[in-house]
Amino acid sequence: MTASDFTPALDRAHAHARDWIASLGTRQVTPRRGGATIRNALGELPDTPTPAATVIDDLAAVVEPGLGAHGSGRFFGFVFGGGQPAGVAADWLVSAWDQNTGVLAAAPGAAEVERAAGRWLVDLLGLPATSSVGFTTGATTANLTGVLVGRDQLLRRAGGDPARGLAGGPRIRVLAGEDVHTSVLLALRYAGLPQPEVVAVDDQGRVRTDALEASLADAPSTPTLLLLQAGDLHSGASDPFAELIPIAHRHGAWVHVDGAFGLWQAASPSLRHLAAGVELADSWATDAHKTLNVPYDCGVVIVRDPAAHRAAMSIDAPYFAGFGDEFGNPYDFVPELSRRARGLPVWATLRAMGRTGVVDLIDRLAARAHEFAAGIRGIPGAQILNDVVFTQVTLAFEDDERTRAITRAILAEGDVWMSGSVWRGRAVLRISVSNWQTSTADVERGLAAIRRAVALTSTP
Ligand SMILES: *Cc1c(COP(=O)(O)O)cnc(C)c1O
């Protein structure tokens, strides 16, 4: 095969990519076609080959109507970010270079860029400089890794042997705040650990110090995994780490923090107080594809003790011998062995923004959330339920039925995306400002969409 075989397909992909990105400013954010239409258009497996460039054109034609504008500044659903130019372009190179980044000696260029990106992240987030870093598919797998490292260490400290598995070994107790993210519960299932004993939280979803003290005093000598959170999905609030973590450590607990989007509070001088003390934990999970706005998929696991990290996640095989260095191989820190160089877009994104650009991005997202809150206060019947401190605004209307009707009307119109949820037993409309492109004008459009939905659903 010659390089020219790639060119027509890559050129078509480039053209489609540019068209797509150019459309983000004006297109409706909701997909124009549903799954069934797309499914029918895809057809059956053909018997004969098709030229690569034609395949790319067909793919774009079929798929494009079924795409959501997640990269638009008017997407406020879930906690989705969008790719920035340096990261998206670096991601293309990741595919073209196609480096299997598991083994250091096989891909030293990719592995060293990831190491540099990891050091930059740890520095920006104010975490211990000697921590180890792994690039995962997302925060779910980053949480899984943190849980696995904690499990491994707790077992060893209690005289157990991780090689023998959990059965017959010391019991591990798991504690988590009432508002723990479901991906953490999933991580516990993957890890063969029980679902957590719930620790009471305050009205913003923050674990209460007195409740944690009571839970720990309950079984003072049981090895304990404590799962805390930076960034509650509905309030944006972080647990009071400076109070909680020293207490947990006095009881010998391993503390893992799910900071999928909220860990980034620590990277902004004006927001750092929200996550004060987060650096005291044993392990952290965050996403690069949310607040940092690196393209999918990219999560990050960070562990204070690199030896503990490797002890839990490393593998050994004769054909890998001698291919790492004193810091190991990339596969020592993540669940995957073969994988793409997903840390490269992180490096490119950080390099493009610089330290001040990162701070500016985070502060800007929070500022847009405050603009939303100010506008919502002027909408009759709307009530903001959270203290808006970061990027999340959670609101409700007169009753659950009306909140759901307004949410449906906003999505049916499709100019902005905001999703429903349930918080504290109430149906809510949740706005997450997580896209680097969101401007004050986009916030205005979001507010106008809410006002239209309110008018449309009001019964005189
Ligand atoms: C998004 C999110 C996760 C899961 O992250 P993925 O990247 O989707 O795997 C975990 N915790 C919180 C708080 C999140 O917002």
* CA 258 to ligand 1: nearest atom: 11
Give nearest CA residue, ligand 1 atom 1.
260
- 299 C-alpha to ligand 1 centroid (Å): 9
- E strand or H helix at 440: helix 440-457
Question: Exposure string (b/e) for 293-309, b if CB count within 10 Å is 16 or more?
Answer: bbbbbbbbbbbbbbebb
For residue 177 the two structure tokens come to: 């705040």
pLDDT of residue 1: 42
Question: What pairing do the DSSP bridges indicate for beta strands 132-136 and 197-199?
Answer: unpaired
CA-to-CA dists, residue 214 to 200, 210, 220, 242, 392, angstroms: 10, 6, 10, 17, 30
CA of 79 to the centre of ligand 1 (A): 8
Residues in the chain: 460
Which backbone phi and psi does 52 adopt, to 5 degrees? -55, -40
Please give the structure tokens belonging to residue 57.
Answer: 């054109």
In ligand 1, the atom with minimum distance to the C-alpha of 143 is 10
Per-residue pLDDT of the chain (460 residues; tens, 9 = 90+): 454 799 999 999 999 999 999 999 999 999 998 888 899 888 899 999 999 999 999 999 999 999 999 999 999 999 999 999 999 999 999 999 999 999 999 999 999 999 999 999 999 999 999 999 999 999 999 999 999 999 999 999 999 998 888 988 899 999 999 999 999 999 999 999 999 999 999 999 999 999 999 999 988 889 999 999 999 999 999 999 999 999 999 999 999 999 999 999 999 999 999 999 999 999 999 999 999 999 999 999 999 999 999 999 998 888 888 899 999 999 999 999 999 999 999 999 999 999 999 999 999 999 999 999 999 999 999 999 999 999 999 999 999 999 999 999 999 999 999 999 999 999 999 999 999 999 999 999 999 999 999 999 987 6
In a domain, 170, yes or no: yes
Distance 285 CA to ligand 1 centre (A): 9
Residue 264 CA to ligand 1 centre (angstroms): 13
What is the C-alpha R_g of the chain? 23
DSSP 280: G
Tell me if 14 is assigned to some domain: no
* Ligand 1 mutation target, pool 144, 234, 290, most atoms within 8 A of CB: 290
Among the atoms of ligand 1, which is closest to the Cα of residue 142? Answer: 9
In this structure, which amino acid lies at residue 304? R
Q: How far is CA 85 from CA 96, 349, 351, 400, 452, in A?
A: 17, 8, 12, 40, 33
Position in ligand 1 atom list of the atom nearest CA 259: 13
pLDDT score for 176:
98
In a domain, 304, yes or no: yes
Nearest-CA residue for atom 12 of ligand 1: 260
**Where is 106: in which H helix or E strand?**
none
Protein residue with its CA nearest to atom 13 in ligand 1: 260
Measured CA to CA, the distance from residue 335 to residue 149 in angstroms comes to 11
CA of 31 to the centre of ligand 1 (A): 22
Is the residue at 119 inside a domain? yes
User: Closest by alpha carbon to 137, among 304, 285, 313?
Assistant: 285
226 to each of 96, 161, 167, 182, 248, how far by Cα in Å?
41, 21, 21, 15, 7
Rounding to the nearest 10 degrees, give the CA dihedral for residues 374, 375, 379, 381: -40
| Contact residues of ligand 1, CB 6 A cut-off | 79, 138-140, 181, 183, 231, 233, 258, 260-261, 287, 299
Question: By CB neighbour count within 10 A (0-12 exposed, 13-18 middle, 19+ buried), where does 178 fall?
Answer: middle
Both tokens of residue 152? 């491994």
Ligand 1 centre from 457 Cα, in Å?
32
Q: Which two tokens stand for residue 219?
A: 């079984």
Instruction: For residue 369, report the distance from its CA to the centre of ligand 1, in Å.
Output: 19
Amino acid at the residue 242: A
- What's the CA gap between 255 and 209, in Å, rounded? 14
CATH number at residue 306: 3.40.640.10
Domain count, the chain: 1
Assigned domain for 97 exists: yes
Q: Which atom of ligand 1 is nearest to the CA of 141?
A: 9
Structure tokens at 66: 């079924």
Query: The domain containing residue 293 runs over which residues?
Result: 89-349
111 part of a folded domain:
yes
Task: Name the residue with the closest Cα to ligand 1, atom 15.
Answer: 260
**Two tokens, residue 307:** 């030896």
In a domain, 172, yes or no: yes
Distance 184 CA to ligand 1 centre (A): 9
CB-based contacts of 363, cutoff 8 Å, min separation 6: 268, 270, 271
- 224 forms bridges with which residues in the sheet? 173
Q: Which pairs from 122-125 meet CB under 8 Å and 24+ separation?
A: 122/302, 124/267, 124/350, 124/355, 124/358, 125/263, 125/264, 125/266, 125/267, 125/284, 125/286, 125/302
Report pLDDT for 223. Answer: 96
CA of 284 to the centre of ligand 1 (A): 12
Distance 34 CA to ligand 1 centre (A): 25
Distance 260 CA to ligand 1 centre (A): 5
- Whose tokens are 């690199």? That residue is 306
Q: Give the helix/strand (H/E) hosting 392.
A: strand 392-396
- Output the six-digit token pair for 352: 């493009």
Identify the residue whose C-alpha is closest to ligand 1 atom 5.
139
Pair of tokens at residue 434 = 């997580």
Residue 395 covered by a domain = no
State the sign of the Cα–Cα–Cα–Cα dihedral 157, 135, 240, 235.
Answer: negative
Q: Tell me which residue has its CA closest to atom 2 in ligand 1.
A: 260
> What integer pLDDT is reported at residue 390 of this predicted model?
98
